[in-house]
Amino acid sequence: MRKKSSVLLIYTGGTIGMMQDAKSGELKPFDFKSLSKQIPELHKFDIDLSAIAFEEPIDSSNMNPDIWIELVQIIQKNYNKHDGFVILHGSDTMSYTASALSFMLENLNKPVVLTGSQLPIGIIRTDGKENLITAIEIAGAKEKGESIIREVCVYFEYKLYRGNRTFKYNSAHFDAFKSPNYPALAEAGVNIHYNKNARLKPTKKALISHTKLDNDITVLKLFPGISKKITSAILNTPGIKAVILETFGAGNASTDAWFTDELKKAIAKGIIILNITQCAEGSVIQGMYETSAHLKKIGVVSGADLTFESAVTKLMFVLGQKLTHQKTIALLQKNLRGELSN
Ligand code: ASP
């Protein structure tokens, strides 16, 4: 007889499990028991479902690296007991968590699917039911005894994406996520169609969970008219190890001497400057224009087509490894979990 798949549901909070506060009208997270009561379908699955719920579910705007570590530890501890994992999470920072987990879980060979919803589960028009039910199905899906998906994903509104390629682009539509630089891994209609060629390759290596993150990073988002005072203040933030430079178009920035000098001074101090584009789609190509050639020359690191969310979490992960400066830069530019196009 075919063995049933086993999926572990990890409930962190988010709109899916929220209820309106009777007095203030604000949406606040409620406990997992109340959530599961709203979805009797959970008991009809041909999948063994277990659940772990955060004692105090959170709105995902309160997400932080300590909770990512907690999630990684939960997955590591339960890795051999289950075929897949579903993380119920607020949509606001879901792409950050998905990106962080992708880096922290090395040699992942099982699905970790993050999902949530735009409307609470108790609302008749909720998108939460479909999202949760299909996410569980994907997390339990196997072919010839092997999980079909073996990476950290986001499932939302009929699409399964590689988590570290996503960002939340819409706060009003059910279709809240986009993955502009990488195709969907699956699409759910009457059947679930997997885009098998887009998946990460399986691995036989044992799971390594990384639990060291370094958040001494900041962001310098360029805009025409940005002052020397602001640029300098950001680049001279005490204790900073890396700065994400959000540039224009294909990685372009001002060629004003004062701007280049500020960057040069930061680089000379050993600060890593990682260039990513403000465009939602496309890639940094340093040297394509004169307005990016100077960045390449002074040692700005190209973030290629990393999303902002992936840039933040990859930096935290790579800096957490405490490698030499050279190795840190090499690792940043290496495609680790499918977050970069080669
Ligand atoms: N504020 C909510 C959260 O991220 C929004 C959502 O879940 O969609 O927790």
- pLDDT tens digits, residue range 266-286? 999 999 999 999 999 999 999
Give the pLDDT band of residue 2 (cuts 50, 70, 90). low
User: In this predicted structure, what is the pLDDT of residue 169?
Assistant: 96
Question: In this structure, what token pair is assigned to residue 336?
Answer: 């680790």
Which of 193, 209, 225 corresponds to the end of one domain?
A: 209
Task: State yes or no: is 324 an active-site residue.
Answer: no
Residue 342 lies in a domain: no
Domain identity same for 141 and 15 = yes
Domain identity same for 153 and 246 = no
Which of 177, 209, 241 corresponds to the end of one domain?
A: 209
Q: Quick one: average pLDDT of 255-274?
A: 98
Degrees (nearest 5) of the Cα angle 322, 323, 326?
Answer: 140
Cβ contact 244:312 at 8 Å? yes
Residue 1 has pLDDT above 60, yes or no: no
Question: In this structure, what token pair is assigned to residue 149?
Answer: 């998906």
Residue 338 lies in a domain: no
Residue 38 has pLDDT above 90, yes or no: no
Place of tokens 């699905």: 111
Residue 340 lies in a domain: no
Residue 286 CA to residue 260 CA, distance in Å, equals 14
User: In this predicted structure, what is the pLDDT of residue 39?
Assistant: 84
Percentage of the chain lying above the pLDDT 90 cut: 87
**Residue located nearest, by CA, to atom 4 of ligand 1:** 90
User: In this predicted structure, what is the pLDDT of residue 45?
Assistant: 84
If you measure from the C-alpha of residue 32 to the centroid of ligand 1, how many angstroms do you get, rounded to a whole number? 16
| CB of 116 sitting under 6 A from ligand 1 | yes
Q: Is residue 51 classed exposed, middle or buried when 0-12, 13-18 and 19+ CB atoms within 10 A define those classes?
A: middle
Domains in the chain, number: 2
User: In this predicted structure, what is the pLDDT of residue 341?
Assistant: 96
Give the structural domain span for 224: 217-332
Which residue blocks in the chain are alpha helix, DSSP H?
32-37, 65-78, 94-104, 128-140, 228-235, 257-268, 290-298, 308-320, 325-333
Q: Quick one: average pLDDT of 11-17?
A: 91
Residue 337 lies in a domain: no
Domain identity same for 90 and 108 = yes
Report the relative pairing of strands 272-277 and 177-178 from DSSP bridges.
unpaired
Residue 310: CB atoms within 10 Å: 30
